[in-house]
Structure 1
Amino acid sequence: MTFYDREDELGALETAYKSPDHAFYVVYGRRRVGKTALLKEFCADRPHLYYLAAQEAENRQREKFVEQIADSFDERVPRIDGWDDAFEYLGEKLETEERVVVIDEFPYLIEENESLPSYIQAFVDEQLQHTDSMLVLCGSSVSVMESEVLGHESPLYGRRTGQIDLQPFSFQQAREVISYDIGDAIRSYSVTGGTPLYLTLFDYEQSLAENIQTHVLSPTAVLYNEPEFLLRTELRNPARYLSILEAVAMGHTTPNEISGATGIDSGPLSKYLQTLRQLRLLERTVPVTASKQKSKRSRYRVADEFLRFWFRFVEPNRSSIEEAPSLVFDGTIEPDLPRHVATTFEDVCTEAVWELIRRGEFDPYSAVGRWWYGEDEVDIVGLAPDDDRLLLAECKWTSNPVGHGLVDDLRTKAESVRWGPDDRTEQFALFSKSGFVDELADELDGTWSLFNLTDLEQLCNGR
């Protein structure tokens, strides 16, 4: 399989590896995001020892670990009775030969022995730091990695020399994989999101409709049951979590709305929401002008485009998909897909705003996000507190060119955004799938910027 992007992450690992001292890196992120592929790509051309933990008895985990060490150094497998002896054996070997040591799915080891971080602390303090080798702990259970490896209470706290919280590909990064034209690329990204596994399953020589029917709507396809698999891997009783994700994907975004749609009381619901946030399946958002800690105007959104697509279109139509998937696509998915893509388009445009800021084509803003109050909403608002400057932008995934109505509407909404002094500077931007009516650009002053799909394509391509 082709390895895409991740230049920054590979560069960070390379720098750590080449440093004159030992290195202890922590790599984590939710499942399917490409952690193992990243580490295998990094290890490919250098001496390494790669151990993938599994959900099995502690004794067998330790035996396999020691076997891996012995195999890496071409030795007979020694008799080892405990984890302290196993890591001491590893340390002795690293004194003679430099290695990158990767322990993947580290949380599985902690499940069987919660003292593992203490053994690794002793290994780092007493042996690893006297070598030029590199240790990498990797895991998909974000909560375990953050508490048992990175947390203040962990014996390993303060030992790491770096960490990578691996994220899904942004649209700009995914564009390298998606070979459709820009419009279909955004549509496709609204289905797969930035998860490398999902992105690379699609055959971009086929139409998006064919890919959806082949790789998502077919009961034998990997993605057909993927969300259930992910949740069952992380949770013992996923039924209520599935219902919450479906409710949010269908547009019930506030706690009260989610409670009403699922029948889960507000008390238990808050715990379920917190768990889904820890798993990075849900995101809690507040208006960009509000405090994340204090604001009571929170909304939730499914944090992954594919999960949002699946819970919106697949889960509610399982029975029909089993009988006639093409009819489900033609009658249910295709007519409603533009509404689904519109949300993704807002995220793509937000990426574009940050890219314009990085290039200096937009003035700098310290925060960029969505804003709402009552019935009023603005797709993108940027805040520059030091300069009392506000950016307001709307994103339209519609079949008709944008005209003066949206300009007037955005100007009116700007008056409702209570932020900064009365004499603040305001800048405006419009993003449109279908472009703009003739002469609109000529009639607007320099505080307005207009972007069509061609402009977005050029931004993605670094032009």
Structure 2
Amino acid sequence: MTFYDRQDELGALDTGHSSPGHAFYVVYGRRRVGKTALLKEFCADRPHLYYLAAQEAEERQREKFVEQIADGFDDRVPRIDHWDEAFEYLGEKLKTDDRIVVIDEFPYLVAENDSLPSYLQAFVDEHLQHTDSMLVLCGSSVSTMESEVLGHESPLYGRRTGQIDLHPFSFQQARDVIAYDIADAIRSYAVTGGTPMYLTLFDYEQSLAENIQTQILSPTALLYNEPEFLLQTELRNPARYLSILEAVAVGHTTPNEISGATGIDSGPLSKYLQTLRQLRLLNREVPITASGQKSKRSHYRVDDEFLRFWFRYVEPNRSSIEEAPAMVFEGTIEPDLPTHVSTTFEDVCTEAVWELIRRGEFDSYSAVGRWWYGEEEIDIVGLAPADDRLLLAECKWTNEPVSHGLVDDLRSKANSVRWGPSHRSERFALFSRSGFVDGLAKDLDDNWSLFDLTDIEHIFNNV
């Protein structure tokens, strides 16, 4: 399988490895995000030991770990009965032969023996730091990695020399994989999101409709049951979490709405929401002008495009998909897909705004995000407190070109955004799938910027 992007992460690992002395890196992130692929790419041409932990009894985990060390150093497998002896054995080998040592899915080891971080602390202090070797701990359980490896209470706290919190691809990164034109690339990203495995499952010589039907709606396809698999590997009883994700995906975004849709009382619901946030399956948003912790105007959204698609269209229609998947696509998904894609388009345009800021084509803004108050919403608002400057932008994924009506509407809503002094300066931008009516650009002053799909393609291509 082709390895895409991750040049920044590979560069960080390479810097850590090539720097004098030992290195201890922590790599973590949600399942399917490409952690193992990243580490295998990094290790490919370097001497290394790679151990993938499994959900097995502690004794068998330790046996496999020692067997991996012995095999890597062409040694006979010794009799080892404790983890401290296993790391002592590894330390002896590293005295004369520097290696990259990767322990993947480290949380599985901790689940069987919560003293592993202490054993590793001793290994780092007594052995690793006297070598030029590199230790990499990798894990998909973000909460375990943050508490047992990175947390203040962990024995390993302060010992790492670097860390990589691996996220799904942005649209710009995913664009290297999605071999469609810009419009279909945005539609496709709204279905797969930036998870590398999902992106590479699609055959871009086929239409998006064909990919959805063969890779998602087929009961034999890997993605058909993927969200259930993800939750079952993380949670003992995923039923309520599944119902919460479905509720949010179909538009119940406030805690009260989620409670009403799922029948879960507000007390238990808050714990479920927190768990889903820790798993990076759900994201809590507040208006960009609000205080994140204190605001009572929070909305939740499924924090992955594929999961949002799946819970919106697949989970509610499982019975029909089993009988007639083509009818589900043609009758339910295809007519509603533009509504689903419109949310993704807002994210793509936000990404474009940040890119324009980085390139100096937009003034600098310290924060960019959505804004809402009551019934009023603005897709993108940028804040520049030091300069009392405000950016306001709308994104339209419609079949009709944007006209003067949207300009007037955005100007009106700008007055409702309570931020900054009365003399603040305001900049405006419009993003449109179908372009703009003739003459609109000429009727606007230099405070306005207009972007169609061709412009967006150029932004991400850095043309």
TM range (shorter): over 0.9
Q: Which runs of 5+ in 2 are unaligned?
A: none
Residue in 2 that maps onto 1:363 = 363
Q: Which runs of 5+ in 1 are unaligned?
A: none
Specify the code of the residue in structure 2 equivalent to 1:367. A
Query: What are the Cα deviations for residues 369-427 of structure 1, in whole angstroms up to 9, with x where unaligned?
Result: 00000011000000000000000000000000001000000000000000000000000
Alignment of 1:42-81 (within 5 A): 42-81=42-81
Query: What are the Cα deviations for residues 144-167 of structure 1, in whole angstroms up to 9, with x where unaligned?
Result: 000000000000000000000000
SS in 2 for 1:416: coil
Residue 461 of structure 1, CA deviation: 1.1
Residue in 2 that maps onto 1:258 = 258
- Give yes or no for the alignment of 1:269 onto 2:269: yes
Alignment of 1:94-109 (within 5 A): 94-109=94-109
SS in 1 for 2:431: strand
Residue in 2 that maps onto 1:279 = 279
Residue 462 of structure 1, CA deviation: 1.6
Residue in 2 that maps onto 1:434 = 434
Residue 15 of structure 1, CA deviation: 0.2
Residue in 2 that maps onto 1:148 = 148
Q: Distance in 1 between matches of 2:360 and 2:91?
A: 49
Residue in 2 that maps onto 1:326 = 326
Specify the code of the residue in structure 2 equivalent to 1:77. V
- Give yes or no for the alignment of 1:398 onto 2:371: no
Residue in 2 that maps onto 1:20 = 20
Residue in 1 that maps onto 2:223 = 223
- Give yes or no for the alignment of 1:186 onto 2:182: no
Alignment of 1:329-348 (within 5 A): 329-348=329-348
Q: Distance in 2 between matches of 1:367 and 1:179?
A: 31
Q: How does the TM-score come out when normalised to structure 2? A: 1.00
Residue in 2 that maps onto 1:349 = 349
Specify the code of the residue in structure 2 equivalent to 1:86. A
Query: What are the Cα deviations for residues 22-69 of structure 1, in whole angstroms up to 9, with x where unaligned?
Result: 000000000000000000000000000000000001000000000000
Residue in 2 that maps onto 1:2 = 2
Q: Distance in 2 between matches of 1:51 and 1:115?
A: 19
Query: What are the Cα deviations for residues 272-294 of structure 1, in whole angstroms up to 9, with x where unaligned?
Result: 00000000000000000011111
Residue 330 of structure 1, CA deviation: 0.4
SS in 1 for 2:415: helix
Specify the code of the residue in structure 2 equivalent to 1:260. G
Residue in 1 that maps onto 2:124 = 124
Residue in 2 that maps onto 1:299 = 299
Specify the code of the residue in structure 1 equivalent to 2:354. W
Residue in 2 that maps onto 1:374 = 374
Q: Distance in 1 between matches of 2:195 and 2:130?
A: 38
Specify the code of the residue in structure 2 equivalent to 1:80. I
Q: Distance in 2 between matches of 1:291 and 1:249?
A: 25
Alignment of 1:127-206 (within 5 A): 127-206=127-206
Instruction: Report how many aligned residue pairs link the two structures.
Output: 463
Residue in 2 that maps onto 1:245 = 245
Specify the code of the residue in structure 2 equivalent to 1:12. A
Q: Distance in 2 between matches of 1:409 and 1:304?
A: 30
- Give yes or no for the alignment of 1:34 onto 2:25: no
SS in 2 for 1:137: strand
Residue in 2 that maps onto 1:421 = 421
Residue 186 of structure 1, CA deviation: 0.2
Query: What are the Cα deviations for residues 234-263 of structure 1, in whole angstroms up to 9, with x where unaligned?
Result: 011100000000000000000000000000
Residue 459 of structure 1, CA deviation: 1.1
